[in-house]
Structure 1
Amino acid sequence: MRSAVLILMGAMLAGCSSMPTGQDPVSWSCHKELTAYRNQPPRTDQQKKEHWPPENEPAPVSDACARELSR
Structure 2
Amino acid sequence: MLVQAESLKRIVSAILEKGGSSNNESQVVAEHLVRANLTGHDSHGVGMLPKYLKMLKAKLLFSPKPGNLK
TM over 0.5: no
- Between Structure 1 and Structure 2, whose CA radius of gyration is higher? 1
Q: If each structure's helix is expressed as a fraction of its own residues, which one has the higher value?
A: 2
For CA contacts below 8 A with separation 6 or more, give which structure has more relative contact order: 1
TM-score normalised to structure 1 length: 0.25
